[in-house]
Amino acid sequence: MVNLTVFSNLTTQYHDIRSGIFEISLPIGTIDNRFSLRFSNAALGVNDFDINKEITVKFTNSNNTITITNVTLDATVQTVDLYNILGQSIRTWEVKNADQKKIQIPVNNLSTGTYIVKVHTTKGDLSTKIIID
């Protein structure tokens, strides 16, 4: 993700325009070189998000359900993909409107075997292997 800020050459302050409204009073007329846009790569920041600690994926054979637990408010699970061990797409579910604390996806009519669950979030992706008995 790229951070976008406005830099004031007059006050030498940065304002994150993605996090909220930026208001300023300016005199009438043309103002050249007062502000500049600054871009930075969020991957270089110190607030790294460890998706593996915040989101867990489990499969329960007794009720054939994939359960995704999201304990963070920083990421929203958008979609969930299921692949077989050969990498072929089996199913996709859109879950962005589901209860993010405990997403339950029923999985029926699948053969016994190993599958990959890929969880797409607003902060990145997570892949987990599950075994269906």
pLDDT tens digits, residue range 39-65? 766 554 444 556 777 899 999 999 999
The predicted pLDDT at position 44 comes to: 46
Q: How far apart are CA 71 and CA 39, in angstroms?
A: 30
| Alpha carbon 68 to chain centroid, angstroms | 14
Q: Which residues of 57-78 are buried (b: 16+ CB within 10 A; e: fewer)?
A: bebeeeeeebebebeeeebbbe
* Tens-digit pLDDT profile for residues 112-127: 999 999 999 998 899 9
| Model-wide pTM > 0.85 | no
Q: How far apart are CA 55 and CA 78, in angstroms?
A: 13
AA letter at 78:
Q
Residue 2 has pLDDT above 70, yes or no: no
* Tens-digit pLDDT profile for residues 66-86: 999 998 878 899 999 999 999
AA letter at 108:
N
